[in-house]
Amino acid sequence: EEYYRRIDTVEPAVQAYAHLTRELAEAQAEAADQRIAQGGDLPLLGVPIALKDLICVEGTRTTCSSRILDNFVSPYDATVVTRLKAAGAVLIGKTNMDEFAMGSSNETAYHHITRNPWDTERVPGGSSGGSAAAVAANECVAALGSDTGGSIRQPASFCGITGLKPTYGRVSRFGLVAFASSFDQIGPMTKSVEDAAILMNVIGGHDAMDSTSANVERPDFTATLDRDLKGLKLGVPKEYFTGGIDPEVLHAVEAGIRHLESLGMERVEISLPHTQYAVATYYILACAEASTNLSRYDGVKYGYRSEAGTLLDMYTQTREEGFGEEVKRRILLGTFVLSSGYYDAYYLKGQKARTLIQQDFEAAYRTCDVMAAPVSPALPFKLGEKLDDPLQMYLSDLYTLSANLAGIPALSIPCGLSQGGLPIGLQLMGPHFDEAMLLNVGHRFQ
């Protein structure tokens, strides 16, 4: 009730939620009260959690902030939802997002934009901007987002919260609406690293319902938060500190690195030489995967259906009316790079570049234990500032895309404020399946 009161107060200014799930939440809260009365305990008993609106919850709408799924009600729970429910969580609402998670500003959502709670003239980041804003504005205790190319980390950085993109395969994608299946990962967006560890204990681990889920042991992520950092090697990739980085971002990130050095970590300069190809590689491969994933929205099986007359008209009109501009742009790009005659030149070349980027990380982790870098080259930008310039928007993902291309885990933690009082995030990247290391290092900022 307290959180819904808070939502009623701040939502007119922030608009973090796509829609609320009050009935479900009330039933779950009552069940939690009963369990508490009986002396029972669970890791998230009665804790209000928000979910990005591309995670399926049985009997509630899952819209991806798209017109084409505006009326879609999930017939089943995502695995992360099953696990949250089993842990006693109260699911209070679905958060706004860029349409189908395509974007970095939350401005491509169908119904309304979300504003940054720190400055409502600025974007909260994207695509999990609703989740980040809801956590930052105290409209939930924690939230889940998804990260295909930075969508947990960049909004976490813009809204001054903690966001973890787990290793690809660590968290089940069953019941997560697919954008680019070889990149997508669900992860926690929280007020503290400790909260992220608690959520990872609940949602992480193997799931037979997702064939890409990794069958590796899930450690207790809360157990190692206070390990000593002395002697660990902190890699600083030089390619992440060049070019158009905002001096205020640079200043805060450097201060974060010095803080870790003061705790006994040893700074080592490293190189990830193929970083310059990350943006092109990601946008070729992610669009290719998106174009095939989104072919299922044809007006026949579920979602929006146009009134058009013939079957063919119905297909084309449904997609014309149901998808927004950015989604269409990506379907066109993806279809192009997969078409015969262009497949070898773009898609196959992109896959090769992806391997080179992965090998960069493998080589670098031979000389360091964890890496530190900026999350975003820029501070949270003004609403509308980049909306008409997709290339500018894509370029702002420069520092987050490589972790998805390589499948490694990466954490965004607040490391300072700009002179104007806007939050700045530090990115920590680790070897596959070592989220524990990232949480351990990140915990030293709190």
Q: Which residues are catalytic, by number?
A: 52, 127, 151
Q: Which of 74, 79, 148, 213 binds ligand GLN (CB under 6 A)?
A: 148
Q: Which of 95, 106, 131, 151 binds ligand GLN (CB under 6 A)?
A: 151
Q: Which of 129, 149, 334, 414 binds ligand GLN (CB under 6 A)?
A: 149
Compute the radius of gyration of the chain from its Cα atoms.
Answer: 21
Tell the smallest beta-carbon distance from residue 146 to ligand GLN (Å).
6
The closest alpha carbon to 386, from 125, 153, 152, belongs to 125
Q: Rounded to an integer, what distance in angstroms lies between the CA atom of residue 373 and that of residue 389?
A: 25
DSSP letters spanning 243-309: SS--HHHHHHHHHHHHHHHHTTPEEEEE--GGGGGHHHHHHHHHHHHHHHHGGG-SSSSSS-----S
Q: Is 150 in the site for ligand GLN (CB under 6 A)?
A: yes
Contact 402, 272 (CB under 8 A): yes
The closest alpha carbon to 266, from 211, 293, 312, 229, belongs to 229
Residue nearest to ligand GLN (CB): 151
Residue entry with tokens 């010095």:
258
Tell the smallest beta-carbon distance from residue 176 to ligand GLN (Å).
11
Per-residue b or e along 127-136, where b marks 16 or more CB atoms closer than 10 Å to that residue's CB: bbbbbbbbbb
The closest alpha carbon to 99, from 346, 300, 303, belongs to 303
Q: Is 103 in the site for ligand GLN (CB under 6 A)?
A: yes
Q: C-alpha distances in angstroms, 60 versus 54, 74, 143, 294?
A: 11, 6, 17, 21
Q: Is 119 in the site for ligand GLN (CB under 6 A)?
A: no
Tell the smallest beta-carbon distance from residue 129 to ligand GLN (Å).
10
Tell the smallest beta-carbon distance from residue 327 to ligand GLN (Å).
11
| Residue with Cβ nearer ligand GLN (289 or 369) | 289
Q: C-alpha distances in angstroms, 387 versus 118, 282, 328, 382?
A: 20, 20, 15, 10
Structure tokens at 407: 């499948």
| Residue with Cβ nearer ligand GLN (179 or 365) | 179
Structure tokens at 358: 């992965």
Q: Is 102 in the site for ligand GLN (CB under 6 A)?
A: yes
Q: Which of 18, 54, 68, 101 binds ligand GLN (CB under 6 A)?
A: 101
The closest alpha carbon to 368, from 228, 167, 232, belongs to 232
Counting residues that bind ligand GLN (by CB under 6 A) gives: 13
User: How far does CA 38 lie from the centroid of its chain?
Assistant: 37
Q: Is 104 in the site for ligand GLN (CB under 6 A)?
A: yes
Q: Rounded to an integer, what distance in angstroms lies between the CA atom of residue 380 and that of residue 399?
A: 15
| Residue with Cβ nearer ligand GLN (126 or 160) | 126
Among the residue ranges 23-31, 144-152, 208-216, 360-368, the one whose residues contact ligand GLN (CB under 6 A): 144-152
Which residues between 272 and 311 bind ligand GLN (CB under 6 A)? 286
Among the residue ranges 146-154, 305-313, 358-366, 437-445, the one whose residues contact ligand GLN (CB under 6 A): 146-154
| Residue with Cβ nearer ligand GLN (47 or 176) | 176
Structure tokens at 34: 């009963």
Contact 237, 402 (CB under 8 A): no
Q: Which residues contact 78 (CB under 8 A, 6 or more apart)?
A: 55, 56, 57, 172, 174, 175, 176, 186
Q: Which of 397, 413, 426, 432 binds ligand GLN (CB under 6 A)?
A: 397
| Residue with Cβ nearer ligand GLN (103 or 299) | 103
Q: Is 167 in the site for ligand GLN (CB under 6 A)?
A: no
| Residue with Cβ nearer ligand GLN (101 or 156) | 101
Among the residue ranges 98-106, 261-269, 303-311, 438-446, the one whose residues contact ligand GLN (CB under 6 A): 98-106
Q: Is 411 in the site for ligand GLN (CB under 6 A)?
A: no
Tell the smallest beta-carbon distance from residue 53 to ligand GLN (Å).
13
Interaction site with ligand GLN (CB under 6 A): 101-104, 127, 147-151, 179, 286, 397
